[in-house]
Structure 1
Amino acid sequence: MHRTGNRFSVNAMSAISTKGRMHFTVFTESFDAKVMCRFLDRLVGHFAHKVHLVVDRHSAHRSKRVRAWLTDHKDEVELHFLPSYAPELNPDELVNADLKRSLPHTHRARNQAELAAETRRFFHRRQRQPHIVRGYFGGRQVRYVTDE
């Protein structure tokens, strides 16, 4: 397989629910508080009720900027933190693994724009497959109860 030798990447963040809903963003900059706040702004626009997010302890999730944003939106969003190192409790880790498995192996992206487009296609496909999204919560260690 021919490759360009160039290295490039994209980042993605998603929020999933036990009901099979998925919200996501794909971005090229580093994940930081600004990106997190932008995602939270988009996320709250999709719900008429308070959103409870279970997140890991990434520094962006705990930053002053995000805490200030949360204070201003306390009736719209609340973060709940996982233990310090518990990837097995985070169903979004299964989303990441699924994404990596699902990217085409026969055609490698030649540039960042192609990789971003492939990543978005994956997330759009999963949004239309709520049974798969619900399955991310089915692991032996992952147990969440909600009434979304």
Structure 2
Amino acid sequence: MEQWLELHKDKIEMFFIPPYSPELNPQEYVNQDFKTNIIGKKRAISKEQLKENIKGFIKKRKKDKPQLIKYLHRKHARYAT
């Protein structure tokens, strides 16, 4: 891997992040919401159905301003507001 990275360093930039962060960011709350409400409740039986479920979730969340605000006002995500 290191050799490949060295050969392609002009095309890729590596960012090293800590292996563990005790604080969730807003994106992780969205992921949790998605997994709970789409993956857990509406199991897709095909790729096409999964795509439709994802599109429906995004469309629904875009219209739900109170839920979007909740993602940002959680204790560990307030820094993003």
Residue 60 (structure 2) aligned to one of 125, 144, 147: 125
Q: Does 1:110 align with 2:45?
A: yes
Relative to total residues, which structure has the larger helix share, 1 or 2?
2
Q: Which residue of 2 aligns with 1:86?
A: 21
1:73-102 deviations in whole A, cap 9, x for unaligned? xxxxxxxx9x62326231110001101111
RMSD across aligned positions (CA): 2.8
Q: Percent identity?
A: 30
Moved over 4 A (4+): 63-67
Give the length in aligned residue pairs.
69
Q: Which amino acid aligns with 2:60?
A: R
Q: Which amino acid aligns with 1:138?
A: H
Give unmatched runs, 5+ long, in structure 2: 1-8
1:90-132 deviations in whole A, cap 9, x for unaligned? 1110001101111263x53111110111011001100001110
From the CA coordinates, give the structure whose radius of gyration is larger: 2
Q: Which amino acid aligns with 1:93?
A: E
Give unmatched runs, 5+ long, in structure 1: 1-62, 68-80
Return the TM-score normalized by structure 1: 0.39
1:39-70 deviations in whole A, cap 9, x for unaligned? xxxxxxxxxxxxxxxxxxxxxxxx86576xxx
Change (3 A) 1:145 1:98: closer
Return the TM-score normalized by structure 2: 0.65
- Conserved 8 A contact 2:25-2:77: yes
- Conserved 8 A contact 1:87-1:93: no
Q: Which amino acid aligns with 1:127?
A: K
Q: Which residue of 1 aligns with 2:79?
A: 144
